[in-house]
Amino acid sequence: MKTKPPPDRRKFADTRDQIDYLYHKLLYWLYEREDSVRARTFAQRLGTLLSEPSSGHDAILPEECRSLICEANDDLPGAIKHRENEVRLIKKLHEMSRNIPQQEDIFRLDGYDDLSDRLDLLAVLSHDSGNSDKAIRILHESKQLCEKHGVKFDGQDIIEEYEKQRVGRNGR
CA distances from 104 to 50, 86, 94 (A): 29, 20, 11
With vertex at residue 46, the alpha carbon angle to CA 26 and CA 125, rounded to the nearest 5 degrees, is 55
Question: In this structure, what are the phi and psi dihedrals at residue 6, rounded to the nearest 5 degrees?
Answer: -55, 145
| Position 76, amino acid | L
pLDDT digits (tens, 9 = 90+) for 40-56: 999 999 999 998 766 55
d(CA 116, CA 135): 13
CB 46 within 8 A of CB 72: no
pLDDT at 166: 85
d(CA 63, CA 49): 13
pLDDT digits (tens, 9 = 90+) for 20-38: 999 999 999 999 999 999 9
d(CA 39, CA 75): 14
Other residues' Cβ atoms within 10 Å of the Cβ of residue 115: 23
d(CA 43, CA 73): 8
Report domain extents, the chain: 19-110, 112-172
d(CA 152, CA 53): 37
d(CA 143, CA 119): 9
pLDDT one digit per residue (tens) for the chain, 172 residues? 578 889 999 999 999 999 999 999 999 999 999 999 999 999 999 999 998 766 555 689 999 999 999 999 999 999 999 999 999 999 999 999 888 988 888 888 889 999 999 999 999 999 999 999 999 999 999 999 999 999 999 999 999 999 999 887 776 5
pLDDT at 70: 98
CB 37 within 8 A of CB 43: no
